[in-house]
Amino acid sequence: MTKEKKTRYIVELDVHLETFQLHILETRFETARHIYNACKGKLLENISHMRADEEYQIWMREEKSEERSIALRKIREKFNVSQTGAERIVKAMGKHFKQKKPKKPKHKQKVHLDSHVVQKIALQVWKSISDYLFNKGKKAHFKKYGQFDSVEGKNNRAGLTYENGTLNWNGLKMKVHIPMKDTYIHKALHDEIAYCRLVRKTIRGKIKYYLQLILKGNPPQKHEPSNGEVGLDIGISTVAAVSNKEVMIEEFCEG
């Protein structure tokens, strides 16, 4: 029985940060990069040990079959070369990178990653490693400083969560800008949130953060559908349309 595909869509919103919040996020993203690279390095080391294993080499010389696939899967699990293996690796690393609560009560913010975010890092690592392992990618690249640009949760109940214009993440409360006149976004926010993704972008040399809400269902219609025929005339720099009720002409990519 095939698994039913989940319908999802994304709404992106600006996150307004105070200076101290920006510094905390930069620290967390750098921590996430270290975990990603350390996990990938450990998996590559495990792959090297696995490929040196005699049993693995014997099965790799066999013709492709269901028996061979099952045997190789068991060997990969034995050497922690799997998604669950990646999750086990980052679980230990996540604990290592956690920062203890400061003794002074005025410092309430925690600068560590929650388990949901860490597990999603494991999925990112495994996708990259599996592409390398099964010859879809030639190399497994590590993330350089400043190259790790997104973290995400598993749901909207713990870790990275959004509620009523605020993005919450381990004690950090960040204001999210919702355009008042954007009816599309207001309609979208009535749908259930599957999980949140925090994205870092560099625009004109300045670092900005954006919240991507991954929402369940289909995106709302921007315009109400209606019946009737419409004629279109698409030019090099403009598009014109005519119906029984209205005529319009618009410039492509205005502004």
- Assigned token pair, 102: 């400061």
Alpha carbons 174 and 56: distance in angstroms, whole number:
50
Average pLDDT over residues 185-195: 94
Q: Is the pLDDT of residue 43 over 90?
A: yes
- Would you list the domain boundaries of the chain? 8-216, 225-255
Q: How confident is the model at residue 224 (pLDDT cuts 50, 70, 90)?
A: low
What digits encode the pLDDT tens for the residues 122-143?
999 999 999 888 876 678 889 9
Whether residue 84 has pLDDT greater than 80: yes
Q: How confident is the model at residue 231 (pLDDT cuts 50, 70, 90)?
A: confident
**pLDDT band for position 1 (cuts 50, 70, 90):** very low
Measured in degrees and rounded to the nearest 5, phi and psi for residue 253 equal 50, 50
Average pLDDT, the chain: 86
Residues 50, 80: Cα–Cα separation, whole Å: 9
| Neighbouring C-alpha atoms within 13 Å toward the C-beta of 45 | 9
Tell me: pLDDT of 110 over 60. no
In this predicted structure, the answer to whether residue 37 has a pLDDT above a threshold of 90 is yes
Pull the structure tokens for residue 132. 């390398």
> 10: Cβ–Cβ under 8 A, 6 or more apart, which residues?
212, 213, 214, 215
| Neighbour tally for 37: CB within 10 Å | 17
Q: What is the pLDDT of residue 148?
A: 92
